Amino acid sequence: MATTLTSSRIETRPNWAEVSLSALRHNFRVVQQHVGADVTICAVVKCNAYGHGVEDCAPALEQAGAKWFGVTSTDEGIVLRGVGVRGRILVLCGLYPGEEEEALRNSLTPAVFRLEQAQDLARAADRLGLAGPVAVHLKIDTGMSRLGLPLADLESFAEGIKLLPQIALEGVFSHLASSEVLDDEHTAHQIERYNVALRTLANHGLHPPLRHLANSAAVEGRANTWHNFVRPGLLLYGYEYGLSRQDGSPVSDVPHLPLKPVLSWKTHVLGLRDVPAGQPLGYGGAYVTPAPGRIAAVSVGYGDGLSRKVSVRNGHDPALCHIHPSVGHGEVLIRGQRAPIAGRVSMDLTLIDVSHVPGAAIGDEVVLIGRSGNQQITAWDLARSSDTVVYETLCNLSKRVPRRHAE
């Protein structure tokens, strides 16, 4: 196998993610067209662009027209500046005390959800001798009860921030807990409380020009949350969360956006063996071959981000008896065919059953996410067999997996 040299490291192990920057740019344009030119998109690129490699993805999004980026923290924002991103960067979870000067030096725009954060920023702006006021976005809690200023504290916040000439309240936002459930009452209440908060601020003479509520599902299905600014993440990477109703039924009257999955994840067959019936495979012998067959060892494991929950078990495994039986139907693609995972995923290796795949050979490409022939496994498919959501599956792709970005 040829050794590949990337800018940061030498790759020898055949396990990599292919990231299509043209698909990413396409998805940005699809979302922009959907919300219209008057609505600003804040491209959410936190957590290494949902595992896609932010150092390449953020500049690609900027090329596609992104003017704003959403990150979790100051350090993520600094990474964007380091790769030359010039757009505005919103730090969604705000600053940790002591980071203010660093954030301001890097022209980051913090979320604030306590008056003290704005006061700390004002003092940092004085110390740095900044010419103009520092823009902040107020995050309010409208019902998710995670992070955000409680509505009960809004009036005192409004009075307090007016005393800080160094601070400009540029934005006000909130996050929806169940935006994908279109008839969800709690979401309706959240939207209502957000509108009340805007009125309260207006009563105090505050009219933040940027107003935002919508994540991906709300971008898709709730135009009443768009205001003039939206914060999609997942859609940009080519996935919908899936709109539904409270009774669990899928929504059919909202057209799907023509998105393209951005990331494929691939590896190779490292070993191959013929096994008799009754052969326990891998750790704990958690899978016992029901018939003679052919088993391939492939270069992927939980050390790469493949959840151990996709393990397929059928044998006696006392260590597993407390794990819920419904999880674990992992599959991969090889030579255009689906092949089940056999036994427990380990740190570096996973076994797959290739008994039905003629010609399967050492060195064959194995697809964990992506296409092979006319078969496809999406990140959502992998998430379901891991008992989780697509976000976690993408973010869990570990550092050990090099991201190969292609135009």
Ligand X SMILES: Cc1ncc(COP(=O)(O)O)c(C=O)c1O
298-313 b/e (C-beta count within 10 Å ≥ 16 → b): bbbbbbbbbbbbbbbb
No. of H helices and E strands in the chain? 11, 22
Nearest distance from C-beta of residue 323 to ligand X, angstroms: 28
Q: Which of 46, 50, 139, 241 is catalytic?
A: 46
* For ligand X, the closer CB: 13 or 384: 384
- SS3 label, residue 91: strand
Nearest-CB residue to ligand X?
A: 233
* For ligand X, the closer CB: 60 or 140: 140
Nearest distance from C-beta of residue 55 to ligand X, angstroms: 19
Nearest distance from C-beta of residue 151 to ligand X, angstroms: 17
Please give the DSSP secondary-structure letter assigned to residue 343. B
* For ligand X, the closer CB: 27 or 307: 27
| CA distances from residue 71 to 16, 46, 58, 241 in whole angstroms, order as listed | 24, 4, 11, 20
Q: How far apart are CA 237 and CA 245, in angstroms?
A: 24
The binding site for ligand X (CB under 6 A) comprises 44, 70, 92, 175, 215-216, 231-234
Q: How far apart are CA 351 and CA 356, in angstroms?
A: 14
* For ligand X, the closer CB: 51 or 232: 232
Q: Which of 50, 283, 391, 399 is catalytic?
A: 283
Quick count: other Cβ atoms within 10 Å of Cβ 372?
20
Nearest distance from C-beta of residue 239 to ligand X, angstroms: 9
Quick count: other Cβ atoms within 10 Å of Cβ 295?
23
The single-letter code of the amino acid at 111 is A
* For ligand X, the closer CB: 108 or 341: 108
Contact between 251 and 311 under an 8 Å Cβ cutoff? The reply is no
* For ligand X, the closer CB: 178 or 314: 178
Tokens of 306: 């493949």
Question: Can 139 be counted among the known catalytic residues?
Answer: no
Question: Taking Cα atoms as reference points, which of 134, 141, 138, 160 lies closest to residue 207?
Answer: 138
Nearest distance from C-beta of residue 179 to ligand X, angstroms: 8
Contact between 40 and 210 under an 8 Å Cβ cutoff? The reply is yes
| CA distances from residue 118 to 98, 140, 154 in whole angstroms, order as listed | 12, 14, 14
Q: What is the number of alpha carbons within 13 Å of residue 301 lying toward its C-beta?
A: 16
Question: Taking Cα atoms as reference points, which of 147, 174, 154 lies closest to residue 230?
Answer: 174
Question: Can 283 be counted among the known catalytic residues?
Answer: yes
Nearest distance from C-beta of residue 31 to ligand X, angstroms: 10
Nearest distance from C-beta of residue 264 to ligand X, angstroms: 20
Nearest distance from C-beta of residue 234 to ligand X, angstroms: 4
93-117 b/e (C-beta count within 10 Å ≥ 16 → b): bbbeeebbeebbebebbbbbbebeb
* For ligand X, the closer CB: 59 or 233: 233
* For ligand X, the closer CB: 27 or 216: 216
Contact between 342 and 298 under an 8 Å Cβ cutoff? The reply is no
Q: How far apart are CA 308 and CA 327, in angstroms?
A: 10
Contact between 230 and 371 under an 8 Å Cβ cutoff? The reply is no
**Which residues are the active-site residues?**
46, 283
